[in-house]
Structure 1
Amino acid sequence: MAKSKVSKSAATKRKTQDVVEAAQKRRERQAKADYVSRRWVPPLFITVGVLGGLWLVVYYIAGNRIDFMSALGDWNVLIGMGLMAAAFALSTLWK
């Protein structure tokens, strides 16, 4: 005896649902495999940002008394701002 259209439809839905569930399980396994702990990011970007700020403060307060800072001249501003920009860029890696 031939199967009715309803049972064919139910079988098709079941197959489709099985395919969707299998794809979802694959995505979940891949997401777990792709997860990488980035616990090192917050201490690093805070350290680099504070170092940039301190560089600028020391330059403005005592830059003319420190030999290597006085030799760098206005490049000290670029170094301090560059360190702070690097800290911002590092902060985007934090998940």
Structure 2
Amino acid sequence: MPKAKITKSSIPQTAAASTADRTPVKINTGGTPTWYKVIMLGLMLLGLIWLVVNYLAGENIPFMVSLGAWNYGVGFGLFIVGLLMTMGWR
């Protein structure tokens, strides 16, 4: 099969000129603030601790007894909010 002939006149001049004239875009690489990371990890740990305390000593703590099965909702809810915050971590 024959090769296609490419000449300098077939390449548009605007494409070659536009790549050389572009200015670089400044990207913010500052990262995530420390307070965001502390809150994110704190929520995940608090949710985990809530579930472990509920499992081990939930029947001895009056407000946990009154919550009943909602203790799982509270524990997993805290944990999931912490996990959702990881999407904002850079």
Q: TM-score, normalised by structure 2?
A: 0.68
Match of 1:47 among 42, 46, 57: 42
How many angstroms does 1:39 deviate by?
2.6
Amino acid at match of 2:65: S
- Give yes or no for the alignment of 1:83 onto 2:78: yes
SS at match of 1:38: coil
In structure 1, list runs of 5 or more residues that go unmatched: 1-5
Structure with more helix by fraction: 1
* Counterpart amino acid of residue 71 in structure 1: S
Unpaired segments of 5 or more residues in structure 2? 1-7
Equivalenced residue count is 80
- Is 2:66 aligned against 1:67? no
CA RMSD of aligned residues (A): 2.4
Quote the offset at 1:18 in angstroms.
5.3
* AA at the equivalent of 1:38: T
Identity %: 26
